[in-house]
Amino acid sequence: MDDEMWTLLSNADRALGRLDGSTEALPNPDLFVLMYVRKEAVLSAQIEGTQASLAEVLELEAQVLDATKPSDALEVVNYIDAMNHGLGRLKDLPVSLRLIREIHGRVIDSTRGAEKNPGEFRTSQNWIGASSSNLKTAKFIPPPPHEMQAALGDLERFVHDETPMPSLLKVGLVHAQFETIHPFLDGNGRVGRLLITFRLCERRILQRPLLYLSYYFKQHRTEYYDRLQSVRDHGDWEGWLKFFLRGVYEVAQEATETARYIVNLRERHRQLIVDQGGRSAGTMMRLLDQLFDHPVVTVSLVERLVGIKFPNANNLVKSFVSMGLLEEISGRERKRVFLYGEYFRLFHDQEVELSEEDIVESLDEEQTLHQADGS
């Protein structure tokens, strides 16, 4: 490694250490982690062309949107489910081909790729290119199925190899190699980015999934794909790893600042409740803590979260609105929807817009050849 690589690695390692330590200042940090996970899920899906927003995901979780209707938000919810499942499984199952298949089955289940063998490695050739491309004109052709199985075996052995290597470099190498193998008919990018989180947590680099690296990948989407392609075409692993380490450093810095702001926000709003809450302050504190996990609520949801009767929940929500803690966002008289706006915007305002050209390119990017029907 050259001096630049060592510097980037050192900076990224220190930034992750600060991020990991920042959660120690958070009371009940697990309440706050889900918003980091949601943000990563939204951005990872958007890289692939999915148009779901963080607001839509929160509305779906709050049962404001109809979960029975197909929507891009369901893809994001599946991603969140896959991440939570994977992190739970890491307690008794290492990152492995078995875990990767499980995760893929949850990422793809009940979404646009449901017909593309969720949880199963492909048995036909796929390729990456525009919608009009074929095997001759494809931008990249992953290994055929018989070679793919051998490559996956090599990747699993590399993951478990204890030969000394800086952990962050190994995480970057695993992601790039997985994307090159492209073992599924759909969802490879999302699963590959989940592997980054799983490896960081498995190696105890992070105690919790706080690094929304897809933010950096989406900001630099063209370079992200170009760097991966340069590995395949020219073996430029150093170029990819430097790009990866810059991303880890930048996002870790930003995520740490977000954690600090959350601590400040919570203390300000707790003090507001102490000053204005009177005898209801205890119940108000319970709702405030729940809002960090559920920033979009209805009165019915508040009733369940806080464990009080509907009329009391309605009065509690009214108090939060009058104090400026909640905003009514539905414009309805019945079944109103409320937003913990200052907290929500802390994550939403960082969203990156894709151009129309990027969106079309995302949707066209992965094409699949099914050998069984010759299509």
CATH of the domain at 133: 1.10.3290.10
Instruction: Verify that 342 and 241 share a domain, yes or no.
Output: no
CB 304 within 8 A of CB 18: no
| Residue where one domain finishes, among candidates 257, 275, 305 | 257
Instruction: Verify that 122 and 194 share a domain, yes or no.
Output: yes
Provide the pLDDT for residue 351.
57
Q: Considering just the CA atoms, what is the radius of gyration of the chain in Å?
A: 22
- Measured at the CA of 290, the angle between CA 289 and CA 295, to 5 degrees, comes to 110
Give the tokens for residue 196: 């980054």
- Alpha-carbon span 317 to 313, nearest angstrom: 6
| In-domain check, residue 371 | no
| In-domain check, residue 21 | yes
Question: Can you tell me which residue has the tokens 């958070």?
Answer: 26
Judging by beta carbons within 10 Å of its beta carbon (0-12, 13-18, 19+), is residue 234 exposed, middle or buried?
A: exposed
Instruction: Verify that 229 and 312 share a domain, yes or no.
Output: no
Instruction: Verify that 136 and 227 share a domain, yes or no.
Output: yes
| In-domain check, residue 366 | no
Provide the pLDDT for residue 66.
74
The total domain count for the chain is 2
| In-domain check, residue 355 | no
Give the tokens for residue 199: 């490896």
Provide the pLDDT for residue 47.
94
Instruction: Verify that 178 and 326 share a domain, yes or no.
Output: no
Instruction: Verify that 154 and 220 share a domain, yes or no.
Output: yes
- Alpha-carbon span 337 to 321, nearest angstrom: 12
Q: pLDDT tens across 74-99, in order? A: 999 999 999 999 999 999 999 999 99
What 3-state DSSP class applies to 375? coil
Exposure class string for 132-165: b at 16+ Cβ within 10 A, else e: eeeeeebebbbbeeeebbebbeebbeebeeeeee
Instruction: Verify that 117 and 225 share a domain, yes or no.
Output: yes
Instruction: Verify that 147 and 21 share a domain, yes or no.
Output: yes
Say how many residues make up the chain. 375
Instruction: Verify that 245 and 290 share a domain, yes or no.
Output: no
Instruction: Verify that 301 and 333 share a domain, yes or no.
Output: yes
Average pLDDT of each block of 10 consecutive residues along the chain (375 residues)?
Answer: 96 97 79 91 92 92 78 91 96 96 90 78 92 88 96 98 96 98 96 98 95 96 97 97 99 94 94 96 96 96 97 98 96 90 86 46 42 34
Question: Can you tell me which residue has the tokens 């630049």?
Answer: 4
Question: Could you tell me the residue range of the domain that residue 15 belongs to?
Answer: 3-257
| In-domain check, residue 201 | yes
Tell me the one-letter amino acid at 69: K
Give the tokens for residue 320: 């939060």
pTM of the predicted model, to two decimals?
Answer: 0.90
Instruction: Verify that 127 and 270 share a domain, yes or no.
Output: no
| In-domain check, residue 362 | no
| In-domain check, residue 369 | no
Instruction: Verify that 51 and 170 share a domain, yes or no.
Output: yes
Give the tokens for residue 41: 């899920």
Q: The domain that contains 319 carries what CATH number?
A: 1.10.10.10
CB atoms within 10 A of CB 196: 25
| In-domain check, residue 361 | no
| Residue where one domain finishes, among candidates 212, 241, 257 | 257
- Alpha-carbon span 100 to 1, nearest angstrom: 30
